[in-house]
């Protein structure tokens, strides 16, 4: 019971100070009081947990500074990047290599030569097809008979004369 009443009275006193006295303070007084309360809280925390701080390693004390170190490093990186990109107020433009284009005659010669090769190969293929069809036709004529209408009657189901005429 002896710990409950002092805690409860401190709570009510805090409520009275918060709602009646603090709103009348200026921002400067509130900032100074906040700094004083922060320093007292850090000192009380350190005095209460002094043994734990003494037994911790040296790296544990550096964890407090880690966010500040990272923010400073990021700011320095951004400043360095801006300075390296825009030196002397000008944007660096890389030089364009000199590209020499071939003449139009050489390009047309290539096209004409490739078209000639295609035409020659088509001619060779078509002559091979015609010669093979003629040789087959010669075999079929000797094996089949020709009707009175002039069409070739195939007894074995091979190529007919009308098909060859369409070719």
pLDDT digits (tens, 9 = 90+) for 78-124: 888 887 777 666 666 778 877 777 676 666 777 778 888 888 887 77
CA distance 13 to 99: 85
DSSP 18: I
pLDDT at 9: 92
Sign, CA dihedral 64-67-73-76, equals negative
pLDDT tens digits, one per residue of 23-43: 888 888 888 989 999 999 999
Domain coordinates in residue numbering, the chain: 4-87, 109-147
Displacement of CA 79 from its chain's centroid (Å): 26
CA distance 141 to 153: 9
Query: Please, are residues 156 and 143 in contact by the beta-carbon 8 Å criterion?
Result: yes
CA distance 165 to 161: 6
């Amino acid at each position: 019971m002896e710990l409950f009443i002092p805690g409860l009275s401190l709570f009510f006193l805090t409520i009275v100070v918060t709602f009646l006295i603090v709103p009348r303070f200026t921002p400067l007084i509130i900032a100074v009081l906040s700094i004083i309360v922060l320093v007292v809280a850090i000192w009380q925390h350190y005095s209460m947990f002094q043994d734990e701080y003494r037994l911790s390693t040296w790296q544990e004390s550096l964890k407090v500074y880690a966010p500040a170190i990272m923010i400073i490093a990021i700011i320095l990186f951004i400043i360095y990047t801006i300075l390296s990109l825009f030196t002397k107020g000008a944007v660096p433009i890389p030089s364009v290599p000199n590209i020499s284009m071939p003449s139009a005659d050489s390009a047309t010669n290539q096209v004409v030569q490739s078209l000639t090769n295609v035409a020659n190969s088509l001619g060779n293929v078509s002559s091979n097809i015609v010669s093979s069809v003629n040789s087959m036709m010669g075999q079929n004529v000797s094996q089949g008979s020709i009707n009175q209408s002039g069409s070739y009657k195939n007894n074995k189901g091979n190529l007919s004369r009308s098909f060859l005429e369409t070719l």
